[in-house]
Structure 1
């Protein structure tokens, strides 16, 4: 009995193993060395939440916009915006340039109204971005809770849409936010810049290996600082979030805090730095943050059994913050 001859036209490469077809109903394993693409962080439902809430809040803001000058710093800020000048301390350089663009791009109505539109746009975008973040976070929580394991995708998306919309409208139509969104003021841009920090930080937490999002978050936080110095109080919370995502990186970031705290103590003891002696509330904040940083760093050193392994990332992050704050 003669052996069957191989079919011409196909030559198996040398050393190749025989391929076994995958069992029915199972997906074939990806080839060795191939990296599966990561799905985008924000899904379609998240962007729908962002677009709908941004548009809704913006329409309401524009309908309730102050038609002309109002009280407080409105006149001073409007003049500074129109002439690209410097308003009262701290000067608000980013806000001045941002609002000036609206005085140029909107060729109608008075200057105060045009600058107020810039406040409305910033507030609407900030509200929409909070809705975007909340919708995505809601999905992450649903995926981790056993209570929602059997939830259909369409109901999960509906739940995320509702959560994001409620969060966005709560901040958008909050009494303070709404009042600042319809006049000439700097606060809505400050909130928008902080929302940008949170979006970038969430991107980094979703893909920890891509440090560019962390650097961008640090840069935007520097922008936050020159928009309004009170936003610096968010720094500790951001560092805690970083430590939750990457303990080694959080450890080294808190170590930098501890070094600054130690330097402040030395300068204060020598009488060079007298700010904390003249301002008790600021001194309380300084010591609270400093001691918390020292304690947190020590705890993470014990957990990770090391220190300084992420100094390059921490250094670049700090430089990015300085670059953002340098506009001040």
Structure 2
């Protein structure tokens, strides 16, 4: 059905209202409210009623609207209505909370309608004042059901919470709505009975302790200096946009769409990435890269306190932190979107909690260790290699604490939190995330993803002799190349110092180092830089103890007391200067500019053919399609030289048409559902519709397009598109079949 109107909409105020009536059931009505940008603000229809509503249709004054629905519906109303500020603000917020299949909700703060905000705040204020009063009235009533009701609410709140950020529009009541209703019920039932004065006192104590994290043997000046130096170094060399390795490009868009990357899925990283890229600055890729900078600096902050507590020397901890910050392995991962700096953050955090617990004998620090150690498994499963060291340390410090019921309960609850993170993969697989690298359709498939079954062939491929003669020397060479020989020498001295003065800490660090090294030695991976970061962090902690011994020995000599400080500063500067040109990515813009030029000029629903073995380019294109230009609905086809291109187009495009309603509606506008048999694209010359739609805009991104397409009846044309940022021109190949 197609409808027309003759009134142009007004920007920010116009909404197209559509109502359909059921001819068989006059009381049944389908209704849409659609704004000028094509976003559905309010609806009573189900997903099977597909609308085609081009972007800015109202504002451009175009008057065509296509609606595909089941038979038996007639048009009742089609009008353009103006929505005033307060209600438009409410509709904006409703639309933002509704979300979409890309896992991205429109930021409410961008709404220009202050009146809508005022209404929302007024309603929330009334609720905030009224709910505790209602709860106080409820507990005065002689109703015995209220106590179990309180606990039932908490259980129910835990059930929809995994869906809170990842709502499925197929659910009639969104998980956000359910959660907010349960939260209101929890305030009513729990508010009057909670010990609020005790909570206020505890919060003040925690805040006071947090403000005193700069412990007695270090100064705030060193802490601030470390953070400023590390932040400046990383921001000066950060990757400015899309680029880097293919995995980097993947982690630049994976949070935007809440997709499922390669094993083990990294659910915690993806969720944090999704939250972090909402900051309003520059491109999505830059924000994802900036997330690594933030966690790298946070890891250095924690490392500084950890090394300071172990070495009892703030200056030694400062130098060790600088050596770690300037190591090529740590530096290179701190300026691109990757999971490794978050992993370093968790390693430093759980070690700090363990050391703090051993010193303070306060079991709260142990509980924090349990929780964050379990949480870290949602980012990188190599944390499991630290478990023997952590268990041994707890047994050495206070073995009986493990057998207390409360400790076991906290440990079990933390473990459930760690495991529960992976429900994210099942949820996003069910919701049909735009990017799913591995099948997570059932628990068996989920187990295979968590255990990284696809990489198991690379685990333990070496014999004992190969480990002794090849892998161990390779590990030491790589460490010396990625860090500094001075750091390794100081770590060896620090191990001796710790063994003589603090055997418990010695075994904690030594067994942790053995666990991480055992994993790296038995994992056949060409690029070890990211996996070396926990080893470098542990080595730097030991080096801090070695530096502390050196500084203490030289303090007694008036002439030489400043010599080690000067030497260490010079060595750090030398390491930073030597690593800067090797690590610096601040000028890496060519790939980003090239693909931006392409996507700025290609029409929607273009077909882009790239090399199947060109992993980097494939991920770059996916970033552009899924993160920056989703409105283009570009179709990507990975071509392998040994296969037939048209068969690949047939297979890969079919799967995309099957999943994406917009693409399906574009290619088959008369169909309400996917045709049982799509045309074979190998016979596209006989199908005029396919030839005009699918093959009208085909762009080739292959190394040798003439050679690889030699067997096809097509003509290549060179097209030149300028970069919108610099005006630099890029040449592309366009195919005419």
Asked if these proteins are the same fold (TM beyond 0.5), I'd say yes
Deviations 1:81-136, CA, capped at 9 Å, x for gaps: 1223222222212111222233211x232211111010011011101211111112
1:125 has 2:298 as partner: yes
1:167 has 2:320 as partner: yes
> Which secondary structure does the structure 2 equivalent of 1:184 belong to?
coil
Shift in alpha-carbon separation, 1:50–1:110, aligned structure 2, 3 A = same
Choose from 225, 228, 238 the match for 2:377.
Answer: 225
2:288 touches 2:337 (CA, 8 Å); kept in 1?
Answer: yes
1:123 touches 1:181 (CA, 8 Å); kept in 2?
Answer: yes
1:240 has 2:392 as partner: yes
Unaligned ranges ≥5, structure 2 = 1-208, 423-737
* Structure 1 match to 2:231: 58
| Aligned equivalents of 1:239, 1:51: Cα separation in 2 | 34
Shift in alpha-carbon separation, 1:42–1:204, aligned structure 2, 3 A = farther
1:103 has 2:255 as partner: no
Aligned pairs for 1:185-200 within 5 A: 185-200=338-353
| Aligned equivalents of 1:77, 1:110: Cα separation in 2 | 14
| Aligned equivalents of 1:161, 1:205: Cα separation in 2 | 20
Aligned pairs for 1:27-176 within 5 A: 42-43=214-215, 45=218, 47-68=220-241, 69-105=243-279, 107-139=280-312, 160-176=313-329
> Which secondary structure does the structure 1 equivalent of 2:377 belong to?
helix
1:216 touches 1:320 (CA, 8 Å); kept in 2?
Answer: no
| Aligned equivalents of 1:72, 1:247: Cα separation in 2 | 46
* Structure 1 match to 2:51: none
Q: CA deviation at 1:46?
A: 5.6
Structure number with the higher helix fraction is: 1
> Which secondary structure does the structure 2 equivalent of 1:227 belong to?
coil
Shift in alpha-carbon separation, 1:214–1:231, aligned structure 2, 3 A = same
| Aligned equivalents of 2:417, 2:219: Cα separation in 1 | 31
1:313 has 2:407 as partner: yes
1:65 touches 1:183 (CA, 8 Å); kept in 2?
Answer: yes
* Structure 2 match to 1:10: none
Shift in alpha-carbon separation, 1:161–1:219, aligned structure 2, 3 A = same
Deviations 1:214-266, CA, capped at 9 Å, x for gaps: 111111111111210111101111112212211334xx5xxxxxxxxxxxxxx
1:49 touches 1:128 (CA, 8 Å); kept in 2?
Answer: no
1:200 touches 1:216 (CA, 8 Å); kept in 2?
Answer: yes
2:370 touches 2:410 (CA, 8 Å); kept in 1?
Answer: no
Q: CA deviation at 1:317?
A: 2.2
Shift in alpha-carbon separation, 1:47–1:123, aligned structure 2, 3 A = same
1:92 touches 1:228 (CA, 8 Å); kept in 2?
Answer: yes
> Which secondary structure does the structure 2 equivalent of 1:94 belong to?
helix
Aligned pairs for 1:268-287 within 5 A: none
Q: CA deviation at 1:55?
A: 2.5
1:207 has 2:360 as partner: yes
Q: CA deviation at 1:183?
A: 0.7
2:254 touches 2:261 (CA, 8 Å); kept in 1?
Answer: yes
Shift in alpha-carbon separation, 1:64–1:120, aligned structure 2, 3 A = same
Shift in alpha-carbon separation, 1:49–1:245, aligned structure 2, 3 A = farther
> Which secondary structure does the structure 2 equivalent of 1:104 belong to?
coil
1:131 touches 1:165 (CA, 8 Å); kept in 2?
Answer: yes
Q: CA deviation at 1:164?
A: 1.1
Shift in alpha-carbon separation, 1:212–1:164, aligned structure 2, 3 A = same
Q: CA deviation at 1:41?
A: 6.9
> Which secondary structure does the structure 2 equivalent of 1:220 belong to?
helix
Q: CA deviation at 1:182?
A: 0.7
1:119 touches 1:180 (CA, 8 Å); kept in 2?
Answer: yes
2:269 touches 2:378 (CA, 8 Å); kept in 1?
Answer: no
Shift in alpha-carbon separation, 1:41–1:112, aligned structure 2, 3 A = closer
* Structure 1 match to 2:631: none
TM-score with structure 1 setting the length? 0.59
Shift in alpha-carbon separation, 1:246–1:236, aligned structure 2, 3 A = same
Deviations 1:180-216, CA, capped at 9 Å, x for gaps: 11111111111111211122222211222x2221111
Q: CA deviation at 1:71?
A: 1.4
Shift in alpha-carbon separation, 1:108–1:199, aligned structure 2, 3 A = same
TM-score with structure 2 setting the length? 0.27
1:50 touches 1:129 (CA, 8 Å); kept in 2?
Answer: no
| Aligned equivalents of 1:41, 1:108: Cα separation in 2 | 31
| Aligned equivalents of 1:172, 1:49: Cα separation in 2 | 14
Shift in alpha-carbon separation, 1:46–1:176, aligned structure 2, 3 A = same
| Aligned equivalents of 1:220, 1:76: Cα separation in 2 | 26
| Aligned equivalents of 1:46, 1:327: Cα separation in 2 | 38
| Aligned equivalents of 1:80, 1:218: Cα separation in 2 | 28
